[in-house]
Amino acid sequence: MHGYSGLNFRDLARDVGIKSASIHYYFPSKADLGAAVARRYWEDNAAALDAMSAEFEDPRQCLQAYPDRFRQSLANENRLCLSSFMAAEYDDLPDAVKAEVQAFADVNVAWLSKVLVAAGVVPAEDSEARARAIFAAVAGAQLIARSRSDISLYDAMIDSYRAAGLFGRLPPS
C-alpha cells in the first residue's frame, strides 16, 4: 500500500477483481472512498471497544487490554492502524477524510476517558488528558515498532507504560 495519495481506482479494482467503474458507481471520488473506509474503520473500532467493555467486569482490565487492539495491526504483517497510517498524510487528505481520521482518535479518547473514570484511575476532569496521553503513547509505540519491524519493541514499550501506571493499576491477584 502506498497511502492515500498512492491509491487509485484501477489498481484497487484489479486487486479485488472488479471493474474500476464498479467502484466509481458507489464512490464517485477518491475522497468519497477514503472517507467511507476511514468511517468503517472507526465504527468497527468503536464496536470492538464496546465489546471489550462488555467482556471485562472490571474497567481496569479494559485499560490493560486496550493496547492489544493496536498490537493486532503489527501482528498482521507489521501494519499500522489505518488511522495512524492516514494521519501521517493528514495535510494532503480531503476534508471529508480528515474528519473521519479525527473521529477515530475521538472515539478512542472518549472510550478511554469513560473507562478511566469508571476504573477510578483519574477524576472526570483529568480523564480526557490522560486518555489522550494513552492514545498517543500506544499509537507512538506502534509506529516505533513498525519502523523496526519488531513487535517485541511494542510489547516492551507497553509493558513500561503499564509499570509506570499510565493505564492505572490492576488489583493484586
pLDDT tens per residue across span 26-35: 888 989 998 9
pLDDT tens per residue across span 43-64: 999 999 999 999 999 999 999 9
Kindly report the pTM of this predicted structure.
0.89
Q: pLDDT at residue 170 above 90?
A: no
Q: pLDDT at residue 6 above 80?
A: no
Domain boundaries, the chain: 31-164
DSSP letters, the chain, are: --HHHH--HHHHHHHHTS-HHHHHHH-SSHHHHHHHHHHHHHHHHHHHHHHHHHH-SSHHHHHHHTHHHHHHHHHTTSPPPHHHHHHTTGGGS-HHHHHHHHHHHHHHHHHHHHHHHHTTSS-HHHHHHHHHHHHHHHHHHHHHHHHHT-HHHHHHHHHHHHHHTTT--PPP-
Beta carbons of 7 and 70 less than 8 angstroms apart: no
What does the block give as the cell for 120?
A: 477510578
What does the block give as the cell for 123?
A: 477524576
At the top level of CATH, the class of 31-164 is: mainly alpha
Beta carbons of 39 and 103 less than 8 angstroms apart: yes
Indicate the range of 34-38, 66-70, 143-147 predicted with least confidence.
Answer: 34-38
pLDDT band per the 50, 70, 90 thresholds, residue 2 = low
pLDDT score of 172: 63
**What percentage of the chain exceeds 90 in pLDDT?**
71
In whole angstroms, what is the distance from residue 98 CA to residue 2 CA? 18
pLDDT score of 69: 92
pLDDT tens per residue across span 109-127: 999 999 999 999 999 999 9
